[in-house]
Amino acid sequence: MKARPAKSVRSIETFLDTSERTVYRYLDLLTNLGFNIEKDSNNKLFIAVSTSIDHIPFTPQEVDYLKKLILSTGKKNQLAQSVLQKVRQSSEVQLGAESVFKAHLAKIVEQISVAIIEERQLIIKGYSSANSQSVTDRLIEPICFTDNYNAICAFEIKTKLNKYFNIERIGSIEVLETPMKHEALHEFYKPDIFGFQGKSLNKEIELQMSMRAYLLLKEEYPMSAAFMKVIPDTGKYYFKANVQSFKAPGRFVMGFLEEVHVIGSKEFKGYIQRVISKNT
């Protein structure tokens, strides 16, 4: 849509092999992400591109270099994705489906940041909960992001509990004019490397694993990398950390029973044995 000539809704519909309604949803998304969509004299659509001297586009090579630098902060760092989205908007690089999704997440991070700064309540719309297997709206008072911007810690007004909400599971955000009213109940406990919140890191896990398991653990939970080291001349990796809950590391071990050896703690070994017995 940056390239001329301008396109009609019908031509976009045909090109994407989708419905007119879906095309308008895509156009709304692009507008929300900051793209300036305009119409020409024939009512056809195009994305306006600034030609001012202050808006010099990056070359594909420059974007690739910036992308590598930014992604070095972590694969799932949503703040990095926000910067990437702005780089793409200022470049000649085409915006693919994955880029739109990442830009969507960056927009959510930006809206939550506004609510935190201005101390306003917000509604998380269409939140997909892994625990309840449901999609619901949540009225919250946001407190802060986790270190890697994967989640937001917030006070949920309905349950009166402090919870974590995964950014990727949020459909959209509506920042309200209503000021925060429950600051005295806000609590933030830094989550463990698996994202679980609690008052104390009183559960210990100690593992030995294959390279494949090591790579997948590091990819799924980037903060685990600081607690892992290679065991010389074995091709194996050693991991030891204190956590808030055995649930996430337990799921990981259950998925790699042949590649992960549980060394400790005694409590974690017992937890794994109970899970195995329950599933057999």
Q: Average pLDDT for consecutive 10-residue bins of the chain (280 residues)?
A: 81 82 82 80 80 51 63 58 60 52 76 88 89 85 81 92 88 93 87 76 92 88 86 92 90 92 94 87
Distance CA 83, CA 253 (A): 35
Specify the residue for token string 């625990």.
131
Which pTM value belongs to this model? 0.48
Kindly give, in sequence order, each residue whose CB lies less than 8 Å from that of residue 180, ignoring residues fewer than 6 positions away.
Answer: 119, 120, 121, 141
Q: Supply the pLDDT for residue 57.
A: 57
Q: Supply the pLDDT for residue 121.
A: 96
> What are 225's two structure tokens?
């990398």
Neighbours of 152 (CB within 10 A): 27
First to last CA, the chain: 55
Per-residue 3-state assignment (H helix, E strand, C coil) for 4-23: CCCECHHHHHHHHCCCHHHH
Distance CA 92, CA 3 (A): 10
Specify the residue for token string 């949803």.
25
Q: Supply the pLDDT for residue 124.
A: 95
Taken in order of first residue, the domains within the chain and their CATH numbers are: 1-49 (1.10.10.10), 203-279 (no CATH)
Q: Supply the pLDDT for residue 202.
A: 87
Q: Supply the pLDDT for residue 52.
A: 44
Q: Supply the pLDDT for residue 92.
A: 46
Q: Supply the pLDDT for residue 40.
A: 86
Half-sphere exposure of 228 (CA within 13 A, CB side): 21
> Among the residues of the chain, which ranges form H helices?
9-16, 20-32, 60-71, 78-89, 97-118, 211-220, 247-255, 266-279
Tell me which residue of 175, 78, 157, 168 sits closest to 117, measured CA to CA. Answer: 175
Query: Would you say 180 and 121 are in contact if contact means Cβ atoms under 8 Å apart?
Result: yes
Q: Supply the pLDDT for residue 53.
A: 39
